[in-house]
Homo-oligomer: A and B are copies of this chain.
């Protein structure tokens, strides 16, 4: 890497997670209010206050899909930066601290008045599945004004989360960032984030994949939603040639890396007990991108992703509880 180069700059929603264990009845009651079990629903501030009041005691942990990935990348020992919008409030301080304390560059100016820092109310059921309810708050105000050309030019990979296709200005910022990255020969990567988010913005996602994406992350539901296929194999066939590398995760069935005509299958790592699946896909991306930016073969990138995903689902919260750099010794 060149002098002052960094491995990955991530652009995403700056969100603090509010995690609580709930029973199945609690989820059933929320489904009537628009919650989608196992997925992410956007909520407004009124609904956020209502749902929080009904939730049991919670813990707070910095989150946000791309924020989780960049924290994981830093935990592997990668050099990392983040672009995302917080407010000047206590949860904004928490989000900022938790990235900067890992050595992640984070220079985006917080907003001063108006929206609060975004929150995701996460309901974790006894099976470990997380159901997310996101109040984007300040994070939806990310725009091209927040782009840091220097960071993007220095980063081997600019990584973005599909969740920010909902706010129009953030999506515009993704396009602009991709152009900056490609203009100096860097790679662009995006995660599709959520099958319902893909449904809402399918044409935009297809366009973004075709025009900008070198490395695509998706789980099986998201990739099938993108190409509207009935089977995973059809989706694998559809994605071939659409981007340099497609990384497709399948929970306990492992993952598949599609690169040109090659299809590489990677087994999932064993997990003693699934406590909370929040952050599984995010940490898979962290491991993969660490390997990729350190010139490892694709199967090794996938293995690191699997190890990080297995770690994060073994505890509450979406970010590393151990140093992921330990996995590098294990994998070697």
- Interface residue? A97 (CB, 8 A): yes
Give the chain B neighbours of A317 by CB distance below 8 A. 59
- Interface residue? A71 (CB, 8 A): yes
Whether A60 contacts B61 by the Cβ 8 Å rule is yes
Whether B90 contacts A57 by the Cβ 8 Å rule is no
Whether A98 contacts B61 by the Cβ 8 Å rule is no
Give residues of chain A (250-301) contacting chain B, Cβ–Cβ below 8 Å. Answer: none
- Interface residue? A62 (CB, 8 A): yes
- Interface residue? A89 (CB, 8 A): yes
Q: Which of B52, B58, B90 contacts A116 (CB 8 A)?
A: B90
Whether A101 contacts B59 by the Cβ 8 Å rule is no
- Interface residue? A303 (CB, 8 A): no
Given contacts A60-B60, A61-B60, A94-B60, contact A55 B89 (CB under 8 A): no
Give residues of chain A (38-89) contacting chain B, Cβ–Cβ below 8 Å. Answer: 52-62, 71, 89
State in angstroms the CA–CA spacing of A90 and B93 once bound together. 11
Whether A98 contacts B58 by the Cβ 8 Å rule is yes
- Interface residue? A238 (CB, 8 A): no
State in angstroms the CA–CA spacing of A90 and B91 once bound together. 7
Chain A contact residues, majority secondary structure = mixed
- Interface residue? A102 (CB, 8 A): yes
Residue in chain B with minimal CB distance to A58: B98
Whether A57 contacts B89 by the Cβ 8 Å rule is no
- Interface residue? A130 (CB, 8 A): no
Given contacts A60-B94, A90-B90, contact A101 B71 (CB under 8 A): no
- Interface residue? A154 (CB, 8 A): no
- Interface residue? A212 (CB, 8 A): no
Whether A57 contacts B116 by the Cβ 8 Å rule is no
- Interface residue? A319 (CB, 8 A): yes
Give the chain B neighbours of A94 by CB distance below 8 A. 58, 60
Give the chain B neighbours of A90 by CB distance below 8 A. 89-91, 116-117
Whether A57 contacts B52 by the Cβ 8 Å rule is no
State in angstroms the CA–CA spacing of A98 and B71 once bound together. 27
State in angstroms the CA–CA spacing of A116 and B91 once bound together. 13
Whether B101 contacts A56 by the Cβ 8 Å rule is yes
State in angstroms the CA–CA spacing of A59 and B321 once bound together. 10
Residue in chain B with minimal CB distance to A94: B60
Task: Kindly name the residue among A57, A58, A59 whose own CB sees the greatest number of chain B CB atoms within 10 A.
Answer: A57
State in angstroms the CA–CA spacing of A60 and B61 once bound together. 6
State in angstroms the CA–CA spacing of A317 and B319 once bound together. 16
Nearest 8 CB-CB pairings of A with B: A60-B60, A57-B98, A90-B90, A59-B61, A90-B91, A56-B101, A59-B59, A57-B101
